Chain A
Amino acid sequence: EDQVTQSPEALRLQEGESSSLNCSYTVSGLRGLFWYRQDPGKGPEFLFTLYSAGEEKEKERLKATLTKKESFLHITAPKPEDSATYLCAVHSRSEKLVFGKGTKLTVNP
């Protein structure tokens, strides 16, 4: 059974304090790993897709990386508006998206 574990569950940072979120996965044949951002009371907003180990994607202060067992979402010099829950999801031969529980990020000014 496909499994996704995200850590930490919650993370508090000061504005400008860089850090990384972790997504560990076990799947039967990874087809894609997806990162989403979810604000309170909203639906997940797509950020990145990664398909193979070694791949990296960047968008503003966010950078996602992928290995054969895990993905990291690096946040460089975060701002308060980066506060949200970040969800990781994997897509395998099961043809469905399996989500982790997310990391709730709070960036204090």
Chain B
Amino acid sequence: DAMVIQNPRYQVTQFGKPVTLSCSQTLNHNVMYWYQQKSSQAPKLLFHYYDKDFNNEADTPDNFQSRRPNTSFCFLDIRSPGLGDAAMYLCATSPLEGLLGNQPQHFGDGTRLSIL
């Protein structure tokens, strides 16, 4: 089955210690998204890639970076995690039409990040 896979499912890091979360897809979609979801809150878009074109949301902290080395993989780097960054991080993909609202986004099962 074509899918969106996130690794690891659970990640524990120390305050201020850089961490990388990964996402891979077999759907061959042009667009990949990263969302942050805190407990009982709505998923919040951090940024997205359309192919290699990176689009950052205006209110995404500089502490969050992303890389997309190829169509299948996308990484979320948190340079200096703070306690407020503890959350579920969701990766999603869509074809180009998803950016236009004509196709749904498909989500992975997320990585739950804890900060000690």
Contact = CB atoms under 8 A, between A and B. Distances in A.
Q: Do A and B bind each other?
A: yes
Nearest to A93: B101
24 contacts: A31-B100, A32-B101, A34-B105, A41-B109, A41-B112, A42-B109, A42-B110, A43-B109, A44-B43, A44-B107, A45-B107, A46-B107, A49-B103, A87-B43, A91-B101, A95-B99, A95-B101, A98-B42, A99-B42, A99-B43, A100-B42, A101-B40, A102-B40, A102-B42
A94 to B, nearest CB: 10
A102 B39 CA distance: 11
Interface residues of A, number: 23
Given A44-B107, A49-B103, A96-B45, 13 more contacts: A31-B101, A32-B101, A34-B104, A34-B105, A41-B110, A41-B112, A43-B107, A46-B104, A87-B42, A87-B43, A92-B101, A99-B42, A99-B44
A97 B90 contact: no
A41 B89 CA distance: 11
Interface in B36-95: 40-45, 48, 57, 90, 92
Interface of A: 4, 31-32, 34, 36, 41-46, 49, 87, 91-92, 95-102
Nearest to B104: A46
B102 A43 contact: no
Contacts of B110: 41-43
Given A42-B110, A43-B109, A44-B90, A32 B102 contact: yes
A99 B44 CA distance: 8
Nearest to B42: A99
